[in-house]
Amino acid sequence: MTMLPPHPSSPRTRWRNPLLWLAAALVAGLLWLLASGMGRDPRELPSMLVGKPFPAFDLPGMKPPAVRRTEQTLRGAPHLVNVWASWCVACKAEHPLLMALSAELAARGLNERLWGVNYKDTPGAAATWLQRGGDPYVDSVVDAQGRLGIELGIYGVPETFVTDASGTVLFRHAGPLTTDIIRDRILPLLVGTP
C-alpha cells in the first residue's frame, strides 16, 4: 500500500505566506540598524547638556585677583567653554587651535568669548602651562575638585562646550578640537550665524 507523499512546501508556496514577508522585513530592518551603528565609536557618549542651561557654578578665576565667577558670566553673548588641564596630553594638541580661534574672534571684534575650566589641576602647573603655550581665555575657573566637571557630565579632558546668549548649551565636543570642528560647528555658533 503506497502513501501519498506529504504536501510539499516549495519555496513558491512558502513565500505566499505573509508572515514570512514580515519576518524577512524585520530581519532586514534589524541588519540595517546594526550596520548603521558600525561607524560609530562606542566610547562616545552623547551630551545630556545640549539644550539645557550651563550648570550653575561659583568658582575662583585663575587670573589675579582670582575673582569669583559664576554661570552668569556666560550670559549676554555666545561663549566657548573649554575644559583643560596641564596634565592632559590631548589638550596640548588643541591648544594652538584655541589660540588661533581667539585671534580670529578678536579680529572680528568679538572679544571675551573663550572661557576655560582648569580641571583638577594644581595652580603652579596650570599657570606655567598657560605661560608656555599662551592664554586664549578671558579667564579659567578653577575646578580643583572636579565638581563642575561632574555637573557638565564630562568623562575625559579636554571637552568643549558652546553656549548661546541665554547661557544654554548648544554644542558639546569631547576630545581635542580640530580645525574642521572649529570651522564648521563652533565658529558659526560663536559668530552668531545659525
The residue within the footprint of other proteins, chosen from 1, 34, 89, 107 (CB under 8 A), is 1
Our CA dihedral for 126, 129, 133, 139, rounded to 10 degrees, sits at 10
Distance CA 174, CA 76 (A): 25
- Is residue 152 at the binding interface for other proteins, with CB under 8 A as the rule? yes
- Is residue 125 at the binding interface for other proteins, with CB under 8 A as the rule? no
The nearer residue to other proteins, 72 or 145, going by C-beta atoms, is 145
Q: Find the shortest distance in angstroms from Cβ 154 to other proteins.
A: 8
- Is residue 40 at the binding interface for other proteins, with CB under 8 A as the rule? no
- φ/ψ of 71, rounded to 5, equals -65, -15
Neighbours of 156 (CB within 10 A): 14
The residue within the footprint of other proteins, chosen from 53, 134, 153, 188 (CB under 8 A), is 153
What's CA 144's distance to the chain center, in Å?
21
Nearest one of 186, 165, 194 to 102, comparing CA atoms: 186
Residue tagged 589675579 (cell numbers): 64
Nearest one of 190, 187, 136, 135 to 163, comparing CA atoms: 190
Residue 60: all three cell numbers together: 575662583
Q: Which is it for the CA torsion 30, 32, 38, 43, positive or negative? A: negative
- Is residue 120 at the binding interface for other proteins, with CB under 8 A as the rule? yes
Q: Find the shortest distance in angstroms from Cβ 183 to other proteins.
A: 28
- Residues in 6-35 that interact with other proteins by CB under 8 A: 6-9, 13-14, 17, 19-20, 22-23, 26, 30
x-or-dash string of contact with other proteins, 155-194, rule CB under 8 A: xx--------------------------------------
Given the rule CB under 8 A, which residues bind other proteins? Answer: 1-4, 6-9, 13-14, 17, 19-20, 22-23, 26, 30, 42-43, 45-46, 48-49, 120, 145-147, 149-156
